[in-house]
Homo-oligomer: A and B are copies of this chain.
Amino acid sequence: MRDLMPEFDADEIGAEMLQFMEELFPICRSITGDGVRETLRRIGERIPLEIHEVPTGTQVFDWTIPKEWNIRDAYIEDPQGRRVLDFRESNLHVVGYSVPVDKRMPLSELREHIHTLPDQPNLIPYRTSYYSETWGFCMQHEKLQELEDGEYVVRIDSSLEQGSLTYGECYLPGETDAEVLISCHCCHPSIANDNLSGIALATRLAEYLGGLSVHHSYRFLFIPGTIGSIAWLALNEDKVQRIQHGLVVACVGDPGQPTYKRSRKGDALIDRAAALVLGHSGQAHRIVDFSPYGYDERQYCSPGFDLAVGSLTRTPYGEYPEYHTSADDLGFVHPESLVDSLRLYLQVLDVLENDAAYINLSPRGEPQLGKRGLYPAVGAQGVGSELMARLWVLNLSDGRHSLLDIAERAGLGFPDVKEAARVLLDSGLLRPASITDASP
């Protein structure tokens, strides 16, 4: 039995995660470029991280690694020479992957390159154009409307050139090379919940697991969305089949309720573990079916791989009004939510680490728990979950039911069932099941 739920000071951990997000927030990330490199460097200060560079032009399945994009500055000046938009105030102001521009143009022409949110007029939208060369700005709709006609100076000091796509990989070997994949995207600029929260959680998780003796090996990927997971899959096809379970980490810091999105398989162990943990979390939550839209689970669950990878988030992509706007900032993220999410991840991993089948060594009738001090002495009314867990583990430990199966059928939380199994093992009433016990 392994215990993946270390004692920790929730306030301290939450503050520490948020602090790391604050550190990363100002960096201008994209799917390539120095912002990603700087982000990975800081993650690497905390966990052992291997940095990979995949050159522009590399073919990865149906895709090609794009040119590398970097940006130094960008602004718009109005006819009076006032900066009415400045990249230094927010890196969301520039459409990601904008080609360089240095021009004068009338407002009417400029308007065609400006994205706003008329329904959220005081927010800056987040926009990108990775695979179609163009340039553009994003700004508050209310500011756009204040602009006067006239000739504007438009400048984006960016570069789009041969280079590489950068991603980080942290591999924690366990007792077996059966792997758990933890993947998070690191391609958004100053957006907090999506997905600095995921980066902070994954980093913290790797820190913890690095200090434990675990059954599975754990692979953490910090990758740009879509192209990053496709690149990793294309370049690591030999490793893919080791992945037994996986979670895509995103949007784990907002105050919304936890949401688990099932893998394409729908009833994989990871799906059942997450459902069990959320079902016993004591909080409102949602479990939604897989769909081929969202984050990198789209790639891991593509039909050629069909990995058992789900996604555990709080409010999912696109379902909160701050999504992909300047309002998804550090104020939108709560340390309590970060810590709660971290705890849920650890509880799910605890199921994966400890799920196993056992054999009741006294299977005919109940064994006499009383003489082993495992049963209340004077027959009273009612029965607690501790005794129920012991009775369920004994009743179903026939080699065909794992602890997760038992918890599901008994309606008990995994920790209760695991503890019951531990006690019964210690009492000599159970032994671990072996392959030869398996029966249909």
Interface segment out of the listed A42-50, A72-80, A250-258, A374-382: A374-382
Known contacts A318-B381, A324-B381; decide if A368 and B131 are in contact (CB<8 Å).
yes
Copies of this chain in the oligomer: 3
Residues of B within 8 A of A388 (CB): 291-293
Interface hits, A372-417 → B, CB 8 Å = 377-383, 387-388, 391-392, 394-398, 410
User: Which residues of the partner chain B approach A371 to less than 8 Å between Cβ atoms?
Assistant: 131
Shortest CB-to-CB span from A101 to chain B, Å, is: 16
Q: Which of B292, B318, B398, B410 contacts A291 (CB 8 A)?
A: B410
Given the complex, which residues of B lie within 8 Å of A363, measured CB to CB?
302-304
Determine whether the beta carbon of A378 is less than 8 Å from that of B234: no
> Which of A82-90, A140-148, A225-233, A345-353 lies at the binding interface?
A225-233
Report yes or no: A364 in contact with B397, Cβ–Cβ below 8 A.
no
Interface residue? A152 (CB, 8 A): no
Distance between Cα atoms of A370 and B62 in the complex (Å):
11
CB distance from A92 to the nearest CB of B (A): 13
Residue of B nearest to A371 (CB): B131
**Quick check: is A332 within 8 A (CB to CB) of the other chain?**
no
Q: Which residue of B lies closest to A128 (CB)?
A: B379
Residues of B within 8 A of A60 (CB): 365
Q: A360-B303, A395-B301, A395-B303 are in contact. Are A378 and B95 (CB under 8 A)?
A: yes
Tell me, rounded to whole Å, the shortest Cβ–Cβ distance linking A117 to chain B: 9
Q: Which single member of B129, B132, B368, B395 contacts A264 (CB below 8 Å)?
A: B395
Please state if B292 and A365 are interface contacts (CB–CB under 8 Å): no
A291: which B residues are within 8 A, CB to CB?
A: 388, 391-392, 410
Interface membership of A366, Cβ < 8 A:
yes
CB distance from A85 to the nearest CB of B (A): 18
CA distance A264 to B363 in the complex (A): 14
Instruction: Tell me how far the C-beta of A388 lies from the nearest C-beta in chain B, rounded to whole angstroms.
Output: 6
28 A-B contacts (beta carbon < 8 Å): A61-B365, A61-B367, A62-B362, A62-B366, A62-B368, A95-B378, A127-B378, A128-B378, A131-B370, A134-B378, A226-B366, A230-B365, A234-B364, A292-B366, A292-B395, A293-B391, A298-B391, A299-B365, A302-B365, A302-B395, A303-B394, A303-B395, A303-B396, A304-B360, A305-B364, A318-B382, A323-B381, A324-B381
The list of the 3 closest CB pairs from A to B, nearest first, reads A304-B363, A304-B364, A303-B398
Q: Which residues of A approach B to under 8 Å, CB–CB?
A: 60-63, 95, 115, 127-132, 134, 136, 226, 229-230, 233-234, 264, 291-293, 298-299, 301-306, 318, 323-324, 360, 362-368, 370-371, 377-383, 387-388, 391-392, 394-398, 410
